[in-house]
Structure 1
Amino acid sequence: MNATQRAVALGLAAALLQAVMLIAFAWPATNIKPRDLPVAVAGPQAAAVSRQLAAHGAAAFDIRTVADESAARQAIADREVYGAVLTGGQPVVLIASAASPAVAQQLTAIAQQLSGAPAAAVQDVVAADPDDPRGTGFGAMVLPLALSGIAAGVLLTLLIPSIALRGIGLATFAISGGLLSMSIVAGWLSLLPGSYLMLAAIAGLVCFAVAGAVVGLGAAIGRAGIPVAALAMLLVGNPFSAATSAPELLPRPWGAVGQLLPPGAAASLLRSEAFFDGAGASAPLTVLLVWAVAAVALLGVGIYRSRAAAPVPALEPVPGVG
Structure 2
Amino acid sequence: MKSSPAVRALGAAVGAALLQIVMITAFAWPSAHLAPRRVPIVVAGPAAGPVAERLADARPGAFAISTRPDEASARKALTDRDAYGAIIASPSGPQVLTASAASPAIAQQLDALAQQFAPKRDAAAGAVPAVRDVVAADPDDPRGTGFGGMALPLIMSSIAAAALLTFTVRRVSWRAAGVLLFALLGGLGSAALAQSWMSLLPGPYLAIAGVMAVTITAVTGTVAGLASLARAGLGLGAVVFLLVGNPLSAATSAPELLPRPWGEVGQYLPPGASATLLRSAAFFDGAGAARPIAVLAGWTVLGAALLALGARRGRAGRAATAPRTPEPALT
**Fold conserved between structures, TM > 0.5:** yes
Larger mean CA deviation between 13-22 and 310-319 belongs to: 310-319
Q: Deviations over 1:139-196 (max 9, x none)?
A: 1010110110111111111222211111111111101111111111112111111111
The residue that corresponds to 1:193 in the other structure is 202
For residue 136 of structure 2, the aligned residue among 111, 120, 127 is 127
The residue that corresponds to 1:141 in the other structure is 150
The residue that corresponds to 2:328 in the other structure is 318
- The Cα shift of 1:44 comes to 2.2
SS in 1 for 2:199: coil
CA distance in 2, matches of 1:78, 1:192: 19
**Amino acid of the structure 2 residue aligned with 1:103:** I
The residue that corresponds to 2:43 in the other structure is 41
RMSD (CA atoms): 1.2
**Amino acid of the structure 2 residue aligned with 1:75:** A
SS in 1 for 2:93: coil
For residue 15 of structure 2, the aligned residue among 9, 13, 16 is 13
**Amino acid of the structure 2 residue aligned with 1:318:** P
Task: Determine whether 1:253 maps to 2:261.
Answer: yes
Structure 1 residues without counterparts, runs of 5 or longer: none
The residue that corresponds to 2:24 in the other structure is 22
- The Cα shift of 1:46 comes to 1.4
The residue that corresponds to 1:179 in the other structure is 188
SS in 2 for 1:15: helix
SS in 2 for 1:62: strand
Q: Deviations over 1:2-38 (max 9, x none)?
A: 2221111111111111111111111111111111100
Kept after mapping to 2: 8 A contact 1:52/1:114:
no
Q: Deviations over 1:74-109 (max 9, x none)?
A: 010000000100001210000000000000001110
The residue that corresponds to 2:300 in the other structure is 292
Kept after mapping to 2: 8 A contact 1:272/1:281:
yes
The residue that corresponds to 1:241 in the other structure is 249
- The Cα shift of 1:320 comes to 3.2
Q: Deviations over 1:219-253 (max 9, x none)?
A: 13x10111011111111111110100000010011
Normalising by structure 2, we get a TM-score of 0.94
Normalising by structure 1, we get a TM-score of 0.96
Q: Deviations over 1:236-272 (max 9, x none)?
A: 1111101000000100111011111111111000000
For residue 271 of structure 1, the aligned residue among 272, 279, 291 is 279
- The Cα shift of 1:307 comes to 2.0
The residue that corresponds to 1:302 in the other structure is 310
**Amino acid of the structure 1 residue aligned with 2:103:** S
The residue that corresponds to 1:223 in the other structure is 231
Identity %: 52
- The Cα shift of 1:56 comes to 4.3
- The Cα shift of 1:313 comes to 4.0
Change over 3 Å in CA distance of 1:39–1:305 after alignment to 2: same
Kept after mapping to 2: 8 A contact 1:41/1:65:
yes
Number of matched pairs: 320
Larger mean CA deviation between 105-114 and 305-314 belongs to: 305-314
For residue 109 of structure 2, the aligned residue among 106, 119, 128 is 106
Kept after mapping to 1: 8 A contact 2:159/2:220:
yes
- The Cα shift of 1:51 comes to 2.3
Q: Deviations over 1:270-318 (max 9, x none)?
A: 0000000000011111111111111011001111122223315434112
The residue that corresponds to 2:167 in the other structure is 158
CA distance in 1, matches of 2:195, 2:298: 26
SS in 1 for 2:249: coil
**Amino acid of the structure 2 residue aligned with 1:128:** A
Structure 2 residues without counterparts, runs of 5 or longer: none
Ranges of 4+ aligned residues in structure 1 off by more than 4 Å: none
